[in-house]
Structure 1
Amino acid sequence: MADRSLSQIAAKLKDIDIAMLVTKTGGDGKIAARPMSNNRDVSAEDGTTYHFTTDDGRIDDDLRASSQCGATYSSGEFYAAVQGEGHLIRDRATQEKHWVKDLEAWFDEGLDTDGLILIEVKPARIDWWDGRESGEITL
């Protein structure tokens, strides 16, 4: 096991734009995964990530039923598995803090897009592998 700080791992996650965000779905223990951009918005203090989507898919239903979620990241020889809780944020002021102009490619109406939600993923544990080194950070 190697020793890396949370801020070092958060910096690696910030450099990886796309994660596979995983939720529990349905009532029978199945899981669902989908690619989501973190918009390079990763907290160095606690590893929290932020992802924009709309409420017309399954992810918001999944997170309302169970906040438990995960995200996987990969780049080169670096891999990470984040386990934590996902929270749906509809508050406009909070969304504005995390909005980046590049998101307009996905959301034509910007922050005024119908059903826009921000998903905040707060990690409880991050497992990581970097070449032959690996570690775990528990929060």
Structure 2
Amino acid sequence: MADRTISDIATKLKAIDVAMLVTKTGSEDAIAARPMSNNKDVSREDGTTFHFATDDGRIDDDLKRSDQCGATYSEGDFYCAVQGTGKLHRDRATLEQHWVPDLETWFENGLDTEGLVLIEVTPARIAWWEGREQGELTP
């Protein structure tokens, strides 16, 4: 196993724009995944990531029922699986803190988009692989 810090992994995750964000869904707790941008908003301290969505899709309902979630990332020979909890934010101040202008491509009305939410994914475990090296971190 190779030694990597949370900061090392966060730097790599910042460079990978799209993750597959995974939640439990439905009454059977089936697995649902969808692509989500982290907008290069990754905490170097604990690997927390932030993703914008609207509350009219399944992800909002999924996280209300169970905060357990995960995200997978890959680029080249680097792969990462994050397991943790998701929290929905709706307050304007928090949304403004994490907003970047590129998001207007997806949210035409910007911060005024109806039902805009911010999903905060806090990792409990981060597993990574790169070439022949691998490791696991628990922030």
| TM-score (ref. length: structure 2) | 0.99
Partner SS, residue 57 of structure 2: coil
Amino acid at match of 2:69: C
1:110 is matched with 110
Gaps of 5+ in 2: none
Aligned CA-pair RMSD: 0.5
Q: Does 1:71 align with 2:66?
A: no
In 2: Cα distance, 1:28 partner to 1:107 partner? 31
Instruction: Give CA-to-partner distance per residue, 1:73-94, whole Å, 9 cap, x none.
Output: 0000000000000000001001
Instruction: Give CA-to-partner distance per residue, 1:34-65, whole Å, 9 cap, x none.
Output: 00000000000010000000001000000000
In 2: Cα distance, 1:89 partner to 1:109 partner? 18
Amino acid at match of 1:107: F
Gaps of 5+ in 1: none
Measured after TM superposition, the shift of residue 29 of structure 1 is 2.4
Q: Does 1:129 align with 2:133?
A: no
In 2: Cα distance, 1:123 partner to 1:41 partner? 14
In 1: Cα distance, 2:42 partner to 2:51 partner? 10
Following TM superposition, the consecutive aligned residue runs of length 4 or more in structure 1 with deviations greater than 4 angstroms are none
Equivalent pairs counted in the alignment come to 139
In 2: Cα distance, 1:18 partner to 1:105 partner? 15
